[in-house]
Structure 1
Amino acid sequence: MPDPPYYIGCPSWSENAWRQSLYPQDARPGDMLELYTQVFNAVEGNTTFYARPKDTTVQRWAQVMPEHFRFTAKFPGDISHAGDLREHLTAAEDFLQLLAPLGARVQPLWLQLPASFTPNRVGELATFIDALEGRALAVEVRNMGFFDKGEGERILNRLLLDRGVERICLDSRPLFSCTSRDPAVLLAQSKKPKVPVRPAALTDFPQVRFIGRPELEANDRFIEQWAQKVAGWIEEGRTPYVFLHTPDNIQAPDLARRFHQRLMTLLPGLPKLPAPERGPEVEQLGLL
């Protein structure tokens, strides 16, 4: 979708477990980004939260990512999770310079704030946002003071609305509706926040993170809700971003396809997600 009505993707592209389901069995790690961009037009920037890429890596990404592709690069944790945001403005600028070769493909930047970031720290956030003036930005909050429909939430939403910054919506309801002994599910439930759903559209680029259950069909009632919401946003002229997870992300591409197929029924004319170009040995295995 070079000129897409919305962006859809997964938490990453370098999953070895996606061989045969998305990539050929013999796919090299260095080829996965190119294969991924043949199917999806966006990816979450989780990798940059944990470690800054080398400049040579960014240059390689710039050579592979199509111009229409979107990489929602997440500010590193030592910026977002290490005390007063105002003390990390230089580090934030250095991070932006590192990603500069990607140009408009880094859009929007994501600032994921920890649960310890409370409403009384909104002033820090305002200064941080203002220092990034001109850059598309989306913020994810996890402190319950931003979800009680009280003064803290109103101040946050007003700040983001006034500055043209999006509020990322995390929907972990499917994950926490699951009762399982699967270690992957238990690990995800221990790490992902259990916060109320806030389907915000403060800008023209709403952001949705959907944390699904491992049984794909068990997500359908939640998928239906989001397909209706995303279709409505698109009809309003907005360009939503939707990222789909599963507990271990092995089935994330399948869940993304499932979402897109449902959206196609609501938006006639929306094209199918393409399959990646794969070698003849894959076709012979009946994997296409």
Structure 2
Amino acid sequence: MWAHTPWQGRFLPHPLGPDERLRAYASWCNAVEGNTTFYATPDARTVASWARQTGEDFGFLLKLPRTVTHERRLAGGEAELRAFLDAIDPLGPRVAALWVQLPGSFGPGDLPALAAFLRTLPRTHRVAVEVRHPAFFTQERAARLLEGVLRGARAEWVPFDTTVLFAERPVTDAEREAWTRKPRLPRRTRALTDRPFVRYIGRDDAERTAEGWRPWIEVFRTWLREGRSPTMFIHTPDNADALALARRFHDEVRAGLPELEPLPEPMPAAPPTLF
């Protein structure tokens, strides 16, 4: 995502070589979703580049391979899981959490498989689980059972807030595409651990996106006052303004919590001029 074309020359310097793009992104945001690891386990050179371009306080939320979560449904993918864990090991503390995103068909009846799988993961890594089956959001018993499994493994439940996306009919091509691909689920604001992760997608209109995240502002302030360290990932359907919006969200949280450290100034997209 740090190579997103609309950001180049606008938020990030352009041109930049592949081994510099993440460094530029990391000057804007201190965490990133590792979605590419869902499709392929990165090779040693790639992981070394990620480590070289980021400090140890940068966080990767790395999605487990789809062979493990979707094709094997958490059973029988030991070799693929081990290869993945070995590959990301050089990132060390930069691995904010292992992201277990489960398919929409993975429901309450599959919780024993999830519990067994979580017991196999190394305790050296935090774990964050994203579910998409409607029962976990609409049935209290199903939610309680899932929370019990996650608490037993000290794992977090990652909500994906799409309520603003689906609040009104889409008006752009990217919004129309997002309507066909993103889950339509209720907002969930309950944290299970000291490191909550939230995924939020708004609209291609920046002001509508900011209006939609208002409920999260006080949630994040509350979590911070409780001593938690939450992470918010901001998306829009086209992601054109996502970098600026992520920093805006941080600033709005900080406006009511001045002890929260400001983000550092990002790398300029263009060299300074004399005039």
TM superposition score normalised by structure 2: 0.94
Unaligned runs of 5+ in 1: 1-11
Q: Does 1:143 align with 2:133?
A: yes
Alignment match, 2:70: 81
CA distance in 2, matches of 1:254, 1:200: 26
Alignment match, 2:54: 65
Deviation at 1:285, TM superposition (A): 10
Residue of structure 1 aligned with 2:143, choices 153, 164, 177:
153
Unaligned runs of 5+ in 2: none
Residue of structure 1 aligned with 2:172, choices 182, 187, 199:
182
Residue of structure 1 aligned with 2:212, choices 217, 222, 226:
222
Deviation at 1:28, TM superposition (A): 3.1
Q: Does 1:170 align with 2:148?
A: no
The residue matched to 2:138 in structure 1 has which SS? Answer: coil
Size of the alignment, in residue pairs?
274
RMSD in angstroms over aligned alpha carbons? 1.8
The residue matched to 2:194 in structure 1 has which SS? Answer: coil
Q: Does 1:192 align with 2:182?
A: yes
CA distance in 1, matches of 2:153, 2:163: 29
Note if contact 1:244-1:256 (Cα within 8 Å) is conserved in structure 2: yes
Q: Does 1:239 align with 2:244?
A: no
The residue matched to 2:199 in structure 1 has which SS? Answer: strand
TM superposition score normalised by structure 1: 0.90
CA distance in 1, matches of 2:26, 2:210: 25
Matches within 5 A, 1:36-55: 36-55=25-44
Alignment match, 1:106: 95
Identical amino acids, percent of aligned pairs: 38
CA distance in 2, matches of 1:44, 1:82: 21
Deviation at 1:13, TM superposition (A): 1.4
| Counterpart residue identity of residue 256, structure 1 | A
CA distance in 1, matches of 2:199, 2:163: 11
Note if contact 2:137-2:186 (Cα within 8 Å) is conserved in structure 1: yes
Q: Does 1:90 align with 2:82?
A: no
Alignment match, 2:24: 35
The residue matched to 1:259 in structure 2 has which SS? Answer: helix
Change (3 A) 1:181 1:39: closer
Alignment match, 2:117: 128
Q: Whose RCO is larger (CA < 8 A, sep 6+)?
A: 1
1:202-238 Cα distance to aligned partner (Å, 9 max, x none): 0000110010111111123322211110010000000
| Counterpart residue identity of residue 239, structure 1 | S
1:117-153 Cα distance to aligned partner (Å, 9 max, x none): 1111111101110001402100000011211233222
Alignment match, 1:16: 5
Note if contact 1:178-1:213 (Cα within 8 Å) is conserved in structure 2: no
| Counterpart residue identity of residue 267, structure 1 | L
Deviation at 1:250, TM superposition (A): 1.3
Moved more, 82-91 or 139-148: 82-91
